Amino acid sequence: MGPEVVSAEKSEFLPLRDTLNAFYNSEKFLSLNESTRSFYQGDLRCFQRSMAGIGAESLNQITPQIVADYLASLQKSPATIARRLNSIKTLLRWAEAEHIADPSLVDQLPKTPRWEKAITPNYLSDKEAAGLVEKARGNLRNLALVTIAIQTGAKTSEILDLNVDDIHHSDHQVSIQFISKNGKSRVNYLDGESAEIIREFAENQKTGPLFLTGKYNHSGEKLTRQGFWFIVRELGKTVGRPDINPRILRNTFIRNFPGSPAELSETLGINYDLCCHLLKRRIR
């Protein structure tokens, strides 16, 4: 059975926690991608805690002024405040459609703040890439993650879906078998120091997922997308690039790729025409 439909009569007394759980089980929420759902849950968890602190324990106790005061109390960057506000608005629009929130509430909320976004390259310079690898050397798992991302250009999902038996090594070379979302398989090869890093890391693992949670890759639980982003972001701060994410590592590989569009298509497992476009732009 699906989640209980909340009636307008019950909503006034329904704890905000239960309203959020109903939202998380809704078709609207489940249709979002995993990353977006994670951001929404994190933002709304913070919002729920703040509302509990002021005694606003149900949706109908929340007013535009309460939301405005909450945003003002965050002391976060304009970008973060805008994201938090968007998460709240998304919840309220769903609640409005379900007839459990005042239809005028969203329209009365503060406008999304504008900010001047700093223009930074969406790739790493050679110096930044080398610095990132150097900073990751204190943790072999993190070093292997960064190395595979920068040296293969693989997507986050492809890297996190790797199993130990997807890694094969000879004396001076490592092959990595990636499986794309459409089930297609491709093999990328690393040599030199990169191959040695992956070989040493893989030999220390048993079976199952290659990358696990826990500081030393030993928890037994597969590393999540959010965990990967966190690792990369924290490493990025140490080289003066707190904006770094796995996509930027992929862009760095594409920007430095020396081959033809056909070779890039084979390496990344993506459409040839897209590779022509990427190499032409060089991820400016």
Closest CA to 133 of 254, 232, 200: 232
Q: Which of 59, 77, 108 lies at the terminal end of a domain, its last residue? A: 108
- Is 95 exposed, middle or buried, given 0-12, 13-18 or 19+ CB atoms closer than 10 A? buried
Q: Same domain for 55 and 131?
A: no
| Range(s) of the domain holding residue 101 | 8-108
Q: Same domain for 148 and 259?
A: yes
Contact 38, 20 (CB under 8 A): no
**Amino acid found at 227:** G
Per-residue pLDDT, 215? 67
Q: Which of 108, 143, 160 lies at the terminal end of a domain, its last residue? A: 108
Q: Which of 57, 79, 108 lies at the terminal end of a domain, its last residue? A: 108
Give the rounded distance of the alpha carbon of 254 from its chain centre: 20
Number of domains in the chain: 2
Q: Same domain for 242 and 156?
A: yes
- Backbone conformation region of residue 223, classed left if phi is above 0, alpha if psi is from -120 to 50, else beta: beta
Q: Same domain for 157 and 253?
A: yes
Per-residue pLDDT, 9? 43
Tens-digit pLDDT string for the chain (284 aa): 344 444 444 445 578 888 999 999 999 899 988 888 888 999 999 999 998 888 888 888 888 888 888 888 887 777 788 889 999 999 989 988 888 888 788 888 877 666 544 455 688 889 999 999 999 998 999 999 999 999 998 999 999 999 999 999 887 899 999 987 777 888 999 989 999 999 999 998 888 999 998 766 666 789 998 899 999 999 999 988 888 989 899 888 888 888 777 877 778 877 667 667 666 655 44
Per-residue pLDDT, 2? 40
Residue 118 within a domain: no
What would the two tokens of residue 254 be? Answer: 């594409």
Q: Same domain for 192 and 274?
A: yes
Contact 103, 96 (CB under 8 A): yes
CATH of the domain at 193: 1.10.443.10
Q: Same domain for 158 and 43?
A: no
Residues 6+ positions from 45 with CB-CB distance below 8 Å? none
Residue 3 within a domain: no
Residue 116 within a domain: no
Query: Which secondary-structure segment (H or E) carries 244?
Result: none
Q: Same domain for 57 and 158?
A: no
